[in-house]
Amino acid sequence: MLWSLLKIVLFVAAVAALTLGAGYLMESQGGVQITAGGMEFTLGPLQSVIAAIVLVFVLWVVFKLVSLLIAILKFINGDDTALSRYFDRNRERKGYQAMSEGLLALASGEGKLAMAKAQKAERYLHKPEVTHLLTAQAAELTGDTRKAEEVYKKLITNEQTRFVGIRGMLKQKLAKGDTDTALKLAERAFALKPKHEEIQDVLLQLQAQKHDWQGARRTLSAKLKHGALPRDIYRRRDAVLALSEAKDIMDEDKPIEAREAAIAASKGSPDLIPGASMAARSYIAQEKPKLAARILKKAWSVQPHPDLAAAFAEIAPDETPQARMKRFGTLTSVKPDHRETRLLKAELALAAEDFPEARRAVGNLAETEPDARVLTVMAAIAKGEGAGEQVVRGWLAKALVAPRGPQWVCDKCHHVHAEWVPVCDNCEGFDTLSWRNPPHSDVAPAGAEMLPLIIGALEDKTDEPTAEPEAPEVLTPTQEAPKETPAEPPVETAGTDAEKRPDVPDAETVEEPAQNAEPEKAK
């Protein structure tokens, strides 16, 4: 700013001086006398002014020529000059143009074109931190993982691009399934940028897969600290990690530590069903049934589950079915209208052989939610109430083709698990399992609707008598049932007696109605 102002002042002063000198020359009577080589030249006032202007122009031209010559010499020598800056600007313009074309090609899925533009941009720009990244992404797009890995290794050597190189290598190792190397790279990337959410998630998932529960809990705390995770989700996942750690400790025969970790998991997240079950069993082992019942009731109030009922039954394993129904009343009264509560009450009533109570507990579940468990309970109720074998088999046939009911299903890949695990066995997602009905097709298999009728027909066919057509097929409820004591088997002498007395019927003829009626009595 000051230098520009100074140049303007100097220019104005020079113009004023030249104007003043030209005025003096114009007002003088004589002229300018120049002697050169024995010759004299006399210039008038006007001629003197013109000669001065020509001289200034010639000096300016000479100065520019000398400056150009000096610039050429410096350019040849490799120094920074106006000429070199001109070529640099031209090269930079071409480099950025190639870079923009490469990015457009990469976005449009043209990997080979993006690779060529990246190489051209690298020749013009000489900025590897920019062009190498474009080259690596173009190589990944074309499937040249080897080239991409080489470029990422070059990026790791530069301090400015180290994180980008580690992240690229991390993705390469994850794609290859090399989780051991990927875990080390994720730890290095996390050390460089602990606030990076993607690195936090990848590191947490890898640590969970390797059962590094302590490291996973530290990573989870970092996510909470940097605001990448809500506090309620943090408590849930921290409880999952504590429960997983407890299960591993229990496998190593360290029950005390397992109990403490399980109790901590249950307190951290009451809706974590496996944590509540393990904490309750740890209290049962410590002979603290009241604390175990308290944990199970709290978890049942959040979400009723069969595992909670199983743990509640372990509090008093030797009680009678009637006493168990009475004790379970404190649990079933928490959510009496819930589906799981109604099925639990029905199963308890079946164990106590109170079949009317079991039917009342099931209610209309067979019509509203007819899954395999409900239909199996209905078959047991029908069997206990003395229904025919055809009715029982009909319920079981329906249960065979019915949905399985709620299970541990991964929310990410919908894979069904037999028991709860912290990491999905299929997609390796962390804390993605939930207790719900798995997705299924509403279209029944071909012929499934005929299965109850087929089974019933087979049962009727097996019950038909084969020896005598006039023998009764089944006994109606109004008919008199045969005596409970079975007929005596025929002795060896029965045949000879029959031969001596022709009016006595065959032993087989006598025994056949009893044999046909006895299964009906059992039914």
Q: What would the DSSP string read from start to end of 449-469?
A: GGHHHHHHHHHHHHHS-SS-T
277 in Cβ contact with 303 (< 8 Å): no
Three-state SS string over 379-411 comes to HHHHHHCCCCHHHHHHHHHHHHHCCCCCEEEEC
The CA-CA-CA angle for residues 336, 341, 347, to 5°, reads: 130
Residue with the bigger pLDDT between 414 and 475: it is 414
The runs of H, that is alpha helices, within 464-504 are 494-500
Q: Would you state the pLDDT for residue 252?
A: 58
> What is the C-alpha separation between 373 and 215, in angstroms, rounded?
41
| Residue 338: per-residue pLDDT | 93
List, as own/partner pairs, every contact residues 458-467 make where C-beta atoms lie below 8 angstroms and the sequence separation is at least 24, other chains included.
Answer: 459/389, 459/390, 459/393, 460/390, 463/516, 463/519, 463/520, 465/512, 465/516, 467/508, 467/509, 467/512
- For residue 143, being part of any structural domain is answered with no
In whole angstroms, what is the distance from residue 225 CA to residue 228 CA?
8
Q: How far is CA 396 from the centre of its chain?
A: 37
What average pLDDT score do residues 44-52 get? 68
Tens digits of residue pLDDT in 315-362? 998 899 999 999 999 999 989 999 999 999 999 999 999 999 999 999
Q: Please report, rounded to a whole number, the percentage of residues in the chain having pLDDT higher than 90.
A: 24
Confidence at residue 251, expressed as pLDDT on a 0 to 100 scale: 62
- The amino acid that residue 516 corresponds to is N
- What does the alpha-carbon distance between residue 230 and residue 362 come to, in Å, rounded to a whole number? 40
What is the Cβ-side half-sphere exposure of residue 376, based on CA atoms within 13 angstroms? 11
pLDDT confidence band for 219 (50 / 70 / 90) = very high
* Residue 229: predicted pLDDT: 86
- Tokens representing 482 are 């045969």
Higher pLDDT, 307 or 37: 307
The better pLDDT of the pair 261, 427 is held by 427
What distance in Å separates the CA atoms of residue 270 and residue 303, rounded to the nearest whole number?
A: 9
Find the length of the chain.
523
Whole-number pLDDT of residue 143:
86
pLDDT at 23: 72
Both tokens of 189, joined, read 């990337």
**How does the average pLDDT of the chain come out, rounded?**
78
Range of the domain at 511: 475-522
Structure tokens given for 432 = 């993605």
Full 3-state SS string of 143-156: CCHHHHHHHHHHHH
The model's confidence at residue 293, banded by pLDDT at 50, 70 and 90, is very high
Q: 369-403: per-residue pLDDT in tens?
A: 888 999 999 999 999 998 888 888 889 888 888 88
Q: How high is the pLDDT of residue 445? A: 47
Tell me which amino acid residue 270 is: P
**Cα→Cα distances 215→35, 222, 242, 340, 419, Å:** 98, 11, 12, 37, 25
Phi, psi for residue 162 in degrees, rounded to 5: -65, -45
Which range is least confidently modeled, 93-97, 199-203, 306-310, 485-489?
A: 485-489
Residue 454 clears pLDDT 80, i.e. is over it: no
Q: Is pLDDT larger for residue 1 or for residue 378? A: 378
Which residue intervals of 269-334 are DSSP H helices? 273-285, 289-302, 306-313, 321-327, 329-332
pLDDT of residue 15: 77
Give the pLDDT confidence of 15-27 residue by residue, as tens digits. Answer: 788 777 767 766 6
492 within domain boundaries: yes
Q: Confidence band (pLDDT; 50, 70, 90) for 446?
A: very low
Q: What is the pLDDT of residues 238-260, one digit of tens each?
A: 888 888 887 777 665 656 666 66
Q: Is 20 part of a structural domain of the chain?
A: yes
pLDDT of residue 80: 64
Instruction: From residue 135, give the alpha-carbon distance in Å to each of 93, 113, 185, 466, 470.
Output: 19, 11, 21, 85, 92
Contact 168, 134 (CB under 8 A): no
Q: Looking at the domain assignment, is residue 50 inside a domain?
A: yes
Nearest to 520 by CA among 396, 397, 380, 387: 387
Measured distance CA(70)–CA(86) in Å, rounded: 16
Angle between helices 273-285 and 306-313 in degrees, nearest 10: 0
Q: What is the mean pLDDT of residues 26-37?
A: 65
User: Taking 70 as the threshold, does the pLDDT of residue 109 lie above it?
Assistant: yes
Q: Is the pLDDT of residue 69 over 90?
A: no
SS3 of residue 423 by DSSP: strand
Angle at 84 between CA 81 and CA 89, to 5 degrees: 120
Q: Which residue has the higher pLDDT, 12 or 1?
A: 12
Q: What is the pLDDT of residues 117-175, one digit of tens each?
A: 888 888 888 888 788 888 888 888 888 888 888 999 988 988 888 999 999 999 999 98
Q: Is residue 72 part of a domain?
A: yes
Q: Is residue 503 part of a domain?
A: yes
Nearest-angstrom CA–CA distance, 174 and 206? 10
Residue 494 lies in a domain: yes
Antiparallel, parallel or unpaired: β 39-43 and 416-417: unpaired
CA atoms within 13 A on the CB side of 167: 17
Q: Among 136, 139, 118, 137, which residue's Cα sits nearest to residue 127?
A: 118
Q: Return the SS3 of 34.
A: strand
pLDDT value of residue 400: 85
Q: What domain count does the chain have?
A: 2
CA neighbor of 431 nearest in space, from 405, 406, 407, 411: 411
Beta strand 39-43 pairing with 32-36? antiparallel
- Residue 92's pLDDT is 86
pLDDT of 181 > 90? The answer is: yes
In contact, 393 and 455? CB cutoff 8 Å: yes
Range name among 8-17, 220-229, 481-490 with the lowest pLDDT average:
481-490
Q: Distances in Å between the alpha carbon of 441 and those of 412, 438, 446, 458?
A: 18, 10, 13, 29
pLDDT at 79: 67
Q: Which two tokens stand for residue 462?
A: 């097996």
State the average pLDDT over residues 196-205. 92
Residues 461-477, mean pLDDT to the nearest whole number = 39
Q: Does residue 484 sit within a domain?
A: yes
Query: In this predicted model, which residue has the larger pLDDT, 186 or 64?
Result: 186
